[in-house]
A and B are shown apart, each in its own frame.
Chain A
């Protein structure tokens, strides 16, 4: 009843090619943007910013980056943690070695460094596919771990190998408050997500999807695999690199190589798979799922236990958290292998028919 596009006519090509062709979608999106930018800053506590919103927004961007590679171009990657690390350390080095650069400029420039590294590690993808490519990108992860730990220049010869973000300022404003961090992260993530959405709708994205669906057929109809695959690696690494730099500068503030270890790669991969391969929205949903659910379980279990008269210890909560989290991942993948994004579109379908399903 509420969600029905009957009567909405598309009179121009422009209207036909809109990202959200249905008016209700546009309204919901607009409402979400208004809430995210104008309402949230007034109602949110610092804890929600620091523990929930900022990590979710930043990891959404990283998941979008990985989704470009895995979901759109069909190239499996286990090196995304390292690419985040490349972004973080590139931003750090730019800030330390070129002190006149603004930290936010460093964050954006670090994406290009990550893109260059991504292209280098993407070269093997021209010859190897599937699981073998996963192994090859795993090499990127281990190389990253090694480089961040061993090459002293990367960490500016700090004795412990742990480095700090510079103070965040822009035109004399202090932007280190959680609200500012959140708005900056959200702004960068939304701008890049919009750009990616348009790339994947255009000829580049179609080349990626052609490669994903059948690379030999794509080659025959004139898609250059070298160009398509490496551009996917570049765009993906750019996004992941920017996310890594934001993770370091806006979220952690001080970090060690362990922040970008293989577990980060795995959790990004889970976000993409659970959220939905080949979907921008799915990446964000996956990030929300992976970031929020453990925190939610961790806080919800003790009161739930107390309600039935059971004093749960910290260790038990933590064990339960892992078990329920793991079980839910399996459950979701069994019920909906196409991820949360597919669940979302099923929900929309149902809403169209409601309240008179046939």
Chain B
């Protein structure tokens, strides 16, 4: 047999295998299970940030299964799908996982603004909610138009607003912003561009100069951007990066000697993988928090006991309690608590995407419940409603001291006098473009 015949035969076999694999009927599943898909990126340019988040998401679910046997006796099954942060692979993963389990996927958390935008088009048709905690479309907090999107805990416009509030407080009042120059160094993608609309409005309102400096993805090369910063001398630099762009920005700031404590990152630019590669240069760098800090809290004891010590976790020891790991467990907690909320209405059985959506929309975690869950000190109270799919607009600031993140500010709350008109305007424009009739929230149950 010549090598060509081998190739021919191989092609034929693989083609047959592909057809068989793609048309094979799915295996029958146990009935009392809730399926939660987990879109991850453990490879590619954004993997350093994707891995701890994915581990946190998985560990919390494993812990619930081991400690409580799932949610109200319904076992949770989960499956990871690697997206590599690429939108088309993300869509493929979504299509692959959305129908798994007895009731289909409970919700999706893609952890990518690009995939979120694409799934926003598909979720209403499939009746699966999207939990985009701290990312995604900022205007999707408007539940009248975006029925299926839940940017819980904060949107980029909230982040932009809190960032300006923090700077104003540091300088001693909003009147001190006048005539100052604030630069936004951003990832040149929908993610990085989201805050611009809000910052534009605030720059007009408070009278500061707003300088936009885009960084082409993935952002490992920023020499010319920092040259621009050196020439223009902004009084503050807001960093809106992800993955390798963050550590590159902090390193470059060190190289051109821009004061690190005049840099403020968004919550996706304020984790350990963002500062550790920069070494000493990162000292003094500040970032917003998606409410929670790094460190170990009550819930971590259970994670340690039921998951980590059992060898069931993929997380490296140093990851445990890091910012993005903690964010992962919060993501799973909000998702599973939403399912629990839905079960209170629909009964203790696996929930469909539609029922989970109701659960998220009625999610109400007060301080007592958060303490009971072991998340005391990590997040503040959150109450989602039909009108407000964000649930809370709180944030704090933490600073890297060279070894760990230290919380340095009190709680800030997003200013709805600025945010609400902007949300309304863009959400309405989206609704008009897509010919969506807004829901009437006064009638939604």
Contacts and interface: CB of A to CB of B under 8 A. Distances in A.
A346 interface: yes
A347 B434 contact: no
Interface stretch (A43-51, A82-90, A124-132, A229-237): A43-51
A198 interface: no
A296 B17 contact: yes
B91 A50 contact: yes
Nearest to B38: A314
B121 interface: yes
Interface stretch (A17-25, A65-73, A112-120, A162-170): A162-170
A224 interface: no
B78 to A, nearest CB: 11
A256 B11 contact: no
Contact of B4 (A161, A257, A315, A335): A335
B43 interface: yes
B95 A253 contact: no
B114 A318 contact: no
A296 B82 contact: no
A161 B190 contact: yes
B88 A55 contact: yes
A86 to B, nearest CB: 19
Interface residues of B, number: 56
A343 B82 contact: no
B23 A48 contact: yes
B222 interface: no
Given A167-B434, A315-B43, A346 B96 contact: no
Interface string A267-303: 0000000000000000000000000110110111000
B224 to A, nearest CB: 15
Given A50-B91, A296-B18, A313-B42, A256 B190 contact: yes
Contact of A51 (B21, B91, B125, B430): B91
A159 B156 CA distance: 12
A346 B4 contact: yes
A252 interface: yes
Interface in A122-176: 149, 158-162, 164-167, 176
Contact of A343 (B8, B17, B91, B125): B8
Interface SS majority for chain A = helix
Given A161-B193, A315-B42, A43 B23 contact: yes
B8 A252 contact: no
Interface string B10-25: 0100100110011100
Contact of B3 (A255, A299, A335, A340): A335
B18 A51 contact: no
A329 interface: no
B92 A258 contact: no
A319 B193 contact: no
Contacts of B98: 47
A336 B7 contact: yes
Contacts of A255: 87, 117-118
A105 interface: no
Contact of A319 (B43, B117, B125): B43
Interface in B165-218: 188-191, 193-194, 196-197, 214, 217
A166 B51 CA distance: 36
B42 A318 contact: yes
Contact of B121 (A43, A45, A254): A254
B40 interface: yes
Contacts of A47: 95-96, 98-99
B433 interface: yes
Given A159-B194, A346-B8, A165 B42 contact: no
B7 A343 contact: yes
Interface string A29-61: 000000000000001011110111001000000
Nearest to A347: B8
A321 to B, nearest CB: 8
Interface centre among B82, B214, B217 (most CB of A within 10 A): B82
B401 interface: no
Nearest to A52: B22
Nearest to B7: A335
A328 B376 CA distance: 52
B175 to A, nearest CB: 27
Contact of B120 (A254, A317, A346): A254
B190 A160 contact: yes
A43 B19 CA distance: 13
B96 to A, nearest CB: 6
A58 to B, nearest CB: 11
Nearest to B122: A253
A331 B14 CA distance: 14
Interface in B390-426: 426
A259 interface: yes
Contact of B95 (A46, A254, A340): A46
A121 interface: no
Contact of A300 (B21, B47, B197, B217): B21
B53 to A, nearest CB: 13
A96 interface: yes
A99 B40 CA distance: 38
Contacts of A300: 17, 21
Contacts of B138: 159
A3 interface: no
Nearest to A315: B42
B200 to A, nearest CB: 9
B17 A149 contact: no
A257 B187 CA distance: 13
A332 interface: yes
Contacts of A257: 189
A51 B96 contact: yes
Interface in A314-350: 314-315, 317-319, 322, 331-332, 335-336, 340, 343, 346-347, 350
A162 B117 contact: yes
Given A159-B196, A160-B191, 19 more contacts: A43-B23, A47-B96, A50-B92, A51-B91, A51-B96, A159-B426, A160-B194, A167-B434, A252-B87, A252-B88, A252-B121, A253-B122, A254-B117, A258-B114, A296-B17, A299-B21, A314-B82, A336-B7, A343-B11
29 contacts: A43-B23, A47-B95, A47-B99, A48-B23, A51-B91, A51-B95, A159-B193, A159-B194, A160-B194, A164-B430, A165-B121, A251-B91, A252-B121, A253-B118, A254-B117, A254-B121, A256-B117, A256-B189, A257-B189, A258-B87, A292-B18, A295-B92, A299-B96, A314-B82, A315-B42, A315-B43, A332-B7, A336-B4, A336-B7
Interface of B: 3-4, 6-8, 11, 14, 17-18, 21-23, 40, 42-43, 47, 51, 54, 80-82, 84, 87-88, 91-92, 95-96, 98-99, 113-114, 117-118, 120-122, 125, 137-138, 188-191, 193-194, 196-197, 214, 217, 314, 426, 430, 433-435
The 8 A-B residue pairs with the shortest CB-CB distance, nearest first, are: A253-B121, A315-B42, A159-B197, A160-B190, A162-B190, A50-B95, A51-B92, A314-B80
